[in-house]
A and B are shown apart, each in its own frame.
Chain A
Amino acid sequence: MGAVTYPDKKVAEFVMQGMVPLQVLADKPLAEEFKVKWTPTIVVLDCSGKEHHRTVGFFPPEEFIPNLLLGMGKVRFDADQFGDAIQHFDKLLAEYPQSGAAPEAIYLAGVSRYKSTHDAKPLKEAYEKLKAGYPQSEWTMRAQPYSLL
C-alpha cells in the first residue's frame, strides 16, 4: 500500500479531503485491541472510534477509493443516516461500477432506501440490479429473497 496506493495522487486527495488518516504499526497495543492478525489491515472508524468497515490485503488505487467510499457509507448507514449513506453508495456505483465493492454498495443502497421509505421496491430493484450485473456475487445471493417482494 505504501509503495503503490498511498502515493497515488487521486487516493491522497480523496483521503485528505474526506477522512482523517491514522497509521499505526501492527505491533503496537492498538493492533491487539483491534485484533489485527495480518497486514495491511485497514479499518474505517467513526469519530468515536467505533469500527464500521475492515479490509485485509492489498488494494490498488482504483479499488481502494471505492472501498473507502463503501466504508464511509457504512459509517452513515450504521448511524441511521440513510440519506448520507446513499450518497456514498451511489457515488461508488457511478464512478467505480466495476469495483469489487460495487455489489455490497448496491445491496446497502437498496436497504438504505427501504429504511428511509419503508417501501420494499428498492430491495427488489437492488436484487434485480445485482442479478443482472453481478450474478456471481455473494451479495446477489444475499438479496435473492427480495425477488419475491
Chain B
Amino acid sequence: MISWESEMTKALERGEREKKPILLDFFNPG
C-alpha cells in the first residue's frame, strides 16, 4: 500500500533526507 504524504514541504524534506525523487499525484476524488 502506498503511504502518501499530503504536504509538499514534508515530501521535499523526506526526498532530501532519503535521496529520492517525489511522485506528485494531483487527483480528483470525483
Contacts and interface: CB of A to CB of B under 8 A. Distances in A.
Contact of A26 (B1, B3, B14, B28): B28
A interface residue count range (under 10 / 10 to 19 / 20 to 34 / 35 or more): 35 or more
For the residues of A in contact with B, the DSSP-based class is mixed
B2 A22 contact: no
Interface in B1-30: 1-8, 11-12, 14-16, 18-29
B6 to A, nearest CB: 7
Given A22-B5, A22-B8, A45 B25 contact: no
B6 A15 contact: no
Interface string A9-29: 001100110111111111100
Interface string A42-65: 111111110010000000000000
Interface string A65-108: 00010011001000000000000000000000000000000000
Contacts of B25: 1, 21-24, 40-42
Interface pairs A-B: 8 shortest CB-CB:
A47-B15, A22-B11, A23-B4, A45-B22, A39-B28, A43-B24, A19-B23, A41-B26
Interface of B: 1-8, 11-12, 14-16, 18-29
Interface of A: 1-2, 6-7, 11-12, 15-16, 18-27, 30-31, 34, 36, 39-49, 52, 68, 71-72, 75
